[in-house]
C-alpha cells in the first residue's frame, strides 16, 4: 500500500511538471498560474503545494529533469578536469560542445525546456531563485572555461592570449549560448551542430591556438554526467575588474 502511494505521488509530480513544461512554452512563465498547471495536470492547487514550495521551485524542478547545454558542458568539464588533468582542454571543450549541441538539436524535451528557460521566463521577484540558479551555473561555466583556456595557452609553446582569459571565456560563452538561442527561433535556418563547431573553431583559431583534428560524435552518445550540486557552486559575486593596458603612442618628432 505504501509503495503504491509513493508511486502515485511520483506520478502526480511528473504530471505537474509535464503540464508546466507545455504551458510555460505556450503562454510564458509569468502568464501561467499554478492553477492553470493544476487544471492541465488534472489535479488541484493543493497537489502543487504538496510537491513544490512555489512557482520558482516548480520551475527549477522542471529544469532538473533535463540537462541543459550549459549545464552539461559544465558537468563534463568538471568531471574531466578531476579525473584526467593531463587531457587536452581544448579538445575536451570542443567534444563537450559537440555533444551538448547534438542533444539540443535531437532531444525534444531538452530543446523545449531550454526554450522556456531562455525565451519564456521573466526574472521578476517571484522568479529570483531561478535567476540565481542561472547566474551561478553561467559563472561557474565561464570560470572553468577561463581555466581551460589558460591551461591550453600554457601548454602551447610561444602562445599568448591576445585578451584577458576571462574576456576570452566570456566571449566563447556568449557566442555558443547566443547561437543556440538564435537557432531556437527557427531551427530550420541552419545546422546547429555544424555552425556551432565552425564558430567555435574559428574563435579558438582567432585566439591563436593550434587545434587538433575536429572531434567526432561518440557512438553511443554518453548520457550527461551528474550536475554539480548548486550548493557547491560559488555564490554570485561581481567579477574582478579587467586590467586595461594603455597603449604607447608613437612619438612624433
Given a cut of 50, whether residue 2 has pLDDT beyond it is: no
Q: What is the mean pLDDT of residues 73-90?
A: 67
pLDDT > 70? residue 229: no
Report the predicted TM-score, pTM, of the whole model to 2 decimal places: 0.76
The whole-number pLDDT of residue 137 equals 81
Q: Tell me the domains of the chain and their CATH numbers.
A: 2-61 (1.10.10.60), 67-232 (1.10.357.10)
Residue 75, class by beta-carbon neighbours within 10 Å (0-12 exposed, 13-18 middle, 19+ buried)? buried
| Residue 247 in this model has a pLDDT that exceeds 90 | no
- Above 50 in pLDDT, residue 253? no
70-74, 116-120, 227-231, range with greatest mean pLDDT: 116-120
In this predicted model, what pLDDT tens digit does every residue of 117-157 receive, in sequence order? 888 888 888 888 888 888 888 888 898 889 889 999 999 99
Q: How far apart are CA 235 and CA 103, in angstroms?
A: 28
Cell of 78: 568538471
Distance of CA 185 to the CA centre of its chain: 17
Q: State the Cα–Cα distance between residues 169 and 151, nearest whole angstrom.
A: 12
For residues 228-249, give the mean pLDDT.
Answer: 49
CA angle centred on 13, ends 10 and 16, rounded to 5°: 155
- At 9-52, the pLDDT tens digits run 889 999 999 999 999 999 999 999 999 999 999 999 999 999 99
Q: Is the pLDDT of residue 8 over 90?
A: no
Query: What is residue 228's predicted lDDT score, i.e. its pLDDT?
Result: 52
Q: What is the pLDDT of residue 5?
A: 80
Amino acid at each position: 500500500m505504501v509503495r503504491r502511494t509513493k508511486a502515485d505521488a511520483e506520478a502526480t509530480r511528473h504530471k505537474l511538471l509535464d503540464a508546466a513544461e507545455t504551458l510555460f512554452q505556450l503562454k510564458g512563465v509569468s502568464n501561467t498560474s499554478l492553477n492553470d498547471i493544476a487544471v492541465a495536470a488534472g489535479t488541484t492547487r493543493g497537489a502543487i503545494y504538496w510537491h513544490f514550495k512555489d512557482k520558482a521551485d516548480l520551475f527549477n524542478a522542471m529544469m532538473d529533469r533535463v540537462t541543459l547545454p550549459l549545464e552539461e558542458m559544465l558537468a563534463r568539464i568538471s568531471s574531466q578536469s578531476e579525473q584526467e588533468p593531463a587531457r587536452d582542454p581544448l579538445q575536451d571543450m570542443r567534444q563537450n560542445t559537440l555533444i551538448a549541441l547534438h542533444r539540443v538539436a535531437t532531444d525534444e524535451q531538452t530543446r523545449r525546456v531550454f526554450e522556456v528557460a531562455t525565451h519564456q521566463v521573466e526574472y521578476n521577484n517571484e522568479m529570483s531563485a531561478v535567476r540565481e540558479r542561472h547566474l551561478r551555473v553561467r559563472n561557474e561555466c565561464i570560470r572553468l572555461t577561463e581555466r581551460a583556456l589558460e591551461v591550453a595557452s600554457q601548454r602551447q609553446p610561444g602562445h599568448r592570449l591576445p585578451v584577458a582569459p576571462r574576456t576570452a571565456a566570456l566571449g566563447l560563452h556568449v557566442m555558443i549560448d547566443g547561437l543556440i538561442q538564435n537557432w531556437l527561433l527557427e531551427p530550420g535556418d541552419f545546422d546547429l551542430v555544424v555552425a556551432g563547431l565552425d564558430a567555435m573553431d574559428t574563435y579558438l583559431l582567432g585566439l591563436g591556438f593550434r587545434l587538433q583534428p575536429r572531434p567526432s560524435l561518440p557512438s553511443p552518445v554518453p548520457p550527461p554526467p551528474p550536475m554539480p550540486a548548486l550548493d557547491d557552486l560559488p555564490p554570485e559575486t561581481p567579477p574582478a575588474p579587467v586590467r586595461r593596458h594603455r597603449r604607447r603612442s608613437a612619438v612624433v618628432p
